[in-house]
Amino acid sequence: MSQDPYRYFRVEANEIREQLGRGALQLEEGAPPPDLVARLLRAAHTLKGAARVVKQPQIAELAHAAEDALAPFREGAAAVPRERVDVLLHITDAIGALLGALTPPPGRGDPGAPAAAAAAGRSGDAEEPLRVVRAEAGELDALMDGLAETHVLLGRLRRDVASAGRARRLADLVAEQLPPARARDAGGAAPARLRAVGEELRRVAADLEASLGGAVSQLGRELGQVRDAAERLRLLPAGALFAPLERAARDAAQAVGRQVAFQAGGADVRLDARVLGVVQGALVQLVRNAVAHGIEAPAERVAARKSAAGLVRLDVARRGSRVAFRCRDDGAGVDLEAVRRAASARGLAPDEALRLGTDDLLALLLKGGLSTSVAVTEMAGRGVGLDVVREAAARLGGQVTMQTESARGTTVELVVPVSLASLGALVVEAGGVAAAIPLDAVRAAVRLSARDVTRAAQGDCIVHEGKVIPFVPLARPLGGAPRAVRDGRPWSAVVVDGGQALAAVGVDRLLGAATVILRPLPALALADPIVAGASLDAEGNPQIVLDPHELVSRAARGDGAQEAAAASRPPAVLVVDDSLTTRMLEQSILESAGYEVELATSGEEGLQKARTRPFGLFLVDVEMPGMDGFAFLERARADAALSAVPAILVTSRDAPEDRRRGLQAGARAYVVKSEFDQSALLDTIRRLLE
């Protein structure tokens, strides 16, 4: 049970606070809905009562002050003056600060609260009460993990369907061997009964196969739908940003003596809450910059035949797997000469500065550190506003561009992924390992002959679109044993963009495009930097997701070290465990130490795999449905081909009798999960493999 007493209060209070803030801005715009003040009063009253329940008198008093500020205008007979709007906005700021103080430190209390509070509550019909459903990020991750485990069980059911099919075929063979009905008179009643039993066996087997197969297929479809729905729950509407951005525009305009109207479009575009959190700070800076650097004073605008109030507009649009935030203003545009002077002041030679065109000057501005303001103020002058935007784009793997037109305004566009967790990927196979490469980084898939790959001083390379780029078999940076680059057979290769350079990676097969859910590796996993994370395929099997930047960097460094590592690769390890989490953890630890790993989800599957290829060691869980770890070892020791393979049992059972039974079954080591130590496990494995 959560030890955070304000877990639900924070979510409700934040939603009401944001509702009050949005309502205050609507009141200032003029011609608000006639019942807006009444709805805001009800919201403030609700917050006051909730705050008293959780014994937060300061928040209750602030909610009461909001009621006092709004009560005289309940009937809507008079417009709410700007001074009252300011009071209401100050109250919401104070409530926000108090709610922030109630947030538990990271790692305690409510892990999903930041994500839950990131989006403003969306009110429904005017007559309906505020009804909002919040899904916490931590609980969604747990749901996705549960679905992944269920997919593993579904894979077992599919194997059972195949077994039912074999049983039906055996029943058919048995029925075909029985005497036909016309032989009944010659053989008496016994053959007739046997024939009836055979026919009944055939019918039961066929019905079982059809019923089980249909149920498994339907279950697979429904699980896929649930997984898609759970992933959509991770996405929040971009409209959650609009109220804070409108507030930022208003406050900036007040600070510099401007009149500004804020407009926004694309509220229903949804994206990952983590992306939304990073983007929000960047967009606040863009809005503030538009007001401070773009919008002219009212008198200047009127003289230029513009409206006295400037316009700042944010449009949000989905572009495939990415979202574009386009911030436009109708101000004076970027002062390019001021940028030129600022660049000269920062050390650029005057003659070079004069040769810079519009695009060059805007590129300098986007690099950060330049400011066109003549004085440092609270709003501008330090040249760090666009640094925030550029940093947000870099963190998210996005892009930022700028356009400007004198006296017409400036447009800045920030394009970022929809989700850091869900991404389109090209799934490939290399050296028996399935890996996903983010589609955003894939530039081409090509077929190469052995003659297309040439040897250079820095390693193998190919010519792609007139440029020489490095080539490396993907199995090599993955720690596998690739085939020789020039063995006469053609290569399938993927051209990957690492941001600053391209590289071609050779693969065995292209498995197709897919949407993968990127998951961070366990904290104890010392994964190679080339691995950005992991995902699960439709069957629940883990597959790695590669980091394009590191992949290209690895290819550019050459392959001599990788070839030497591949030549000295230690023997393979078979991991047998029914828990997805434990399998992935152990696989990550072993692969980071250079071991090749094969996975099995049950004792039966592990025994089958152990008989198909040689392994240097078995790492086996004890508690598994069907054949447990003890039985697995007993069966392996009884098999002459497997009896010499050392085995380690990994289990949560630490009773002395369990340890004795494990050693009697043939385990060379016994690891208790509650005492799990990564270094000790690797030391034990190295000792057993010597």
626-633: long-range contacts (C-beta < 8 A, 24 or more apart)? 626/602, 627/602, 627/603, 628/603, 629/576, 629/603, 629/662, 630/661, 630/662, 630/665, 631/603, 632/576, 632/603, 632/606, 632/607, 633/662, 633/665, 633/666, 633/667
Q: What is the CA radius of gyration of the chain?
A: 33
Q: Minimum mean pLDDT among 52-56, 279-283, 313-317, 571-575: which range? A: 52-56
Most confidently predicted of 215-229, 399-413, 464-478: 399-413
Question: At residue 504, what are phi and psi to the nearest 5 degrees?
Answer: -110, 130
- Nearest Cα neighbor of 141 from 213, 62, 231 is 231
pLDDT for res 202:
76
- Which positions ≥6 away from 653 have C-beta within 8 Å? 622, 623, 672
The predicted pLDDT at position 376 comes to: 39
pLDDT digits (tens, 9 = 90+) for 544-578: 888 888 888 888 876 444 444 444 557 789 999 88
Q: What is the pLDDT of residues 475-532, one digit of tens each?
A: 888 777 677 776 678 889 999 988 678 999 999 889 888 877 776 666 555 567 788 7
Beta-carbon contacts of residue 415 (< 8 Å; ≥ 6 apart) = 319, 322, 323, 324, 325, 393, 398, 399, 400, 401
Distance CA 246, CA 252 (A): 10
User: Is residue 314 helix, strand or coil?
Assistant: strand
Of the candidates 492, 505, 607, the one whose C-alpha atom is nearest the C-alpha of residue 552 is: 505
Asked whether the beta carbons of 379 and 255 are under 8 A apart, the reply is: yes
Question: What's the whole-number mean pLDDT along residues 229-246?
Answer: 80
Q: What is the pLDDT of residue 343?
A: 79
pLDDT of 263 strictly over 90: yes
pLDDT for the residue 9: 79
- State the burial class of residue 210 (Cβ atoms within 10 Å of its Cβ: 0-12, 13-18, 19+): middle
Long-range contacts of 200-208 (CB under 8 A, 24+ apart): 201/171, 201/174, 201/175, 202/168, 202/171, 202/172, 202/174, 202/175, 204/171, 205/164, 205/167, 205/168, 205/170, 205/171, 206/168, 206/171, 208/164, 208/167, 208/168
Residues β-bridged to residue 482: none
Q: Is the pLDDT of residue 619 over 90?
A: yes
Residue 70 predicted with pLDDT over 60: yes
pTM of the model: 0.49
pLDDT digits (tens, 9 = 90+) for 315-369: 999 887 789 999 999 999 988 888 888 878 777 777 787 888 888 888 888 776 5
- Per cent of the chain over pLDDT 70 is 79
The residues, any chain, with a CB within 8 Å of residue 245's CB and separated by 6 or more, are 262, 264, 283, 284, 287, 314
Dig out the tokens for 355 from the structure: 């040769």
- What single-letter amino acid sits at 519? R
pLDDT band at 641 (very low <50, low <70, confident <90, very high): confident
Residue 74, amino acid: R
Residue 258: pLDDT band (50, 70, 90) is: very high
Q: Which of 361, 308, 357 is nearest to 331 (CA)?
A: 308
